[in-house]
Amino acid sequence: MRRILRTRTALTALLAAGALGLGAAPADAGTAAEAAVGTATYALDTALSARLGDDTAGSYLDRRTGALVVTVTSDRAAEQVRAAGAVAKRVARGAARLEAAMAALESGAKITGTSWGIDPRTNQVSVEADRSVGARELARLRKVAAAQDGAVRITRVPGTFQREVAGGDAIYGGGYRCSAAFNVSKGTARYFVTAGHCTNSAANWSATSGGPVIGVREGTSFPTNDYGIVRYTDGSAPAGNVNLHNGSYQDIASAANAVVGQALRKSGSTTKVTSGTVTAVNVTVNYGDGPVYGMVRTTACSAGGDSGGAHFAGSVALGIHSGSSGCTGTSGSAIHQPVREALSAYGVNVY
């Protein structure tokens, strides 16, 4: 989903005021659930993951207490986790075992309409198969899963996994509508990041259909990844916030990797702001035109035109919207590209 840039009489004024969902305006404090994941929790999660290696199979937030729970496969790892101030949970499978299960799915069941990722809460690889997966393909998927000795869980989901680009209003390029995720900078240069399947379609981007160019593509990566970057060429320097589509904006102050169990919001040009929970990380999604890796699965709702939009929690940027298998009521399946990977690839920062 890309984030929208709305029209005003003067384009520079529009961008400065946050039409991209990025402009200057009052910030929203975010929900209490989002605020519960503080900077210290993100830092602790990152540090323990690096320190424990294969002695952990991931971490998540306890739904009742909000505490960071870290899965461990040894007593020594459990001691390290407790000493660092997190909760240790002993599990049977380490990172290497779950990664081996995903490798088996990659080699034996790479089927369009499927996705898989690690759910540390169940210590399994969580597989989703959409309605486009036929009986023969589903049987192949189940055969590969059965050989993994309980490490893989399969769920059928409604709809079909697809990139969510659409024709219509918002940010335009190559005849498509997307959404922008976050304004970013490198020195004095200003850019916005969005989905790579959006930036693949066009080099020049406008705030209105057929309107003047406000930015030029400087990088794009899809499939495998799903991120791209556009440099503002109209002389504007928009503020670093996200449009909440209710007259207010959320300031973005930092970026982090999402933690399973945390609440987040998604802002896009079609479904506006929706809320959800992170359910899996290190997710592979097999779109019809190629796979993407290392994604994050959530329960937020989304639809066509939301591609490239912002996934965030309070003032923390988490991801760039990629796609979903649709939304039933308030239960969605929005997938995001971790934004920190894109920031690192292009050497830029949120602000």
Q: Write out pLDDT tens, residues 307-341.
A: 999 999 999 999 999 999 999 888 899 999 999 99
pLDDT range class, residue 11, cuts 50, 70, 90: very low
Helix, strand or coil for residue 56? Answer: coil
Q: Residue 26: pLDDT above 80?
A: no
User: CA nearest 267: which of 289, 248, 254, 283?
Assistant: 248
Task: Verify whether residue 336 is a known catalytic residue.
Answer: no
pLDDT range class, residue 166, cuts 50, 70, 90: low
Q: Residue 19: pLDDT above 50?
A: no
Q: What pLDDT score was predicted for residue 31?
A: 54
Q: What pLDDT score was predicted for residue 165?
A: 58
Per the prediction, the chain carries an average pLDDT of 89
* Sheet with 213-221, edge to edge strand ranges: 176-178, 171-173, 204-206, 213-221, 227-232, 189-194, 182-186, 349-350
Q: Name the more confident of 73 and 14.
A: 73
Q: What pLDDT score was predicted for residue 28?
A: 45
Residue 106 class from Cβ within 10 Å (0-12 exposed, 13-18 middle, 19+ buried)? middle
Q: Name 140's Cβ contacts closer than 8 Å, sequence gap at least 6.
A: 108, 109, 111
Q: Residue 25: pLDDT above 80?
A: no
pLDDT range class, residue 348, cuts 50, 70, 90: very high
Task: Verify whether residue 245 is a known catalytic residue.
Answer: no
Q: What pLDDT score was predicted for residue 1?
A: 31
Rounded to the nearest 10 degrees, what angle do helices 39-52 and 75-84 cross at?
Answer: 160
Kindly name the residue from 226, 236, 311, 333 that is annotated as catalytic. 226
Tens digits of residue pLDDT in 117-147: 999 999 999 999 999 999 999 999 999 999 9
CATH dotted code for 1-46+111-351: 2.40.10.10
Q: What's the pTM?
A: 0.87
Q: What pLDDT score was predicted for residue 236?
A: 84
Domain boundaries, the chain: 1-46+111-351
Q: What pLDDT score was predicted for residue 330?
A: 84
Tens digits of residue pLDDT in 199-245: 999 999 998 888 999 999 999 999 999 999 999 999 888 889 999 99
User: CA nearest 70: which of 54, 86, 53?
Assistant: 86
Kindly name the residue from 307, 315, 324, 325 that is annotated as catalytic. 307
Sign (positive or negative) of CA dihedral 204, 209, 214, 218: negative
User: CA nearest 336: which of 140, 186, 194, 138?
Assistant: 194
Q: Tell me the mean pLDDT in the region 255-272.
A: 96
Q: What pLDDT score was predicted for residue 32?
A: 53
Kindly name the residue from 179, 197, 267, 333 that is annotated as catalytic. 197
> Which helix (DSSP H) or strand (DSSP E) does residue 72 occupy?
strand 68-72
pLDDT range class, residue 36, cuts 50, 70, 90: low
Here the tokens at position 224 are: 């495998």
Helix, strand or coil for residue 30? Answer: coil
Task: Verify whether residue 307 is a known catalytic residue.
Answer: yes
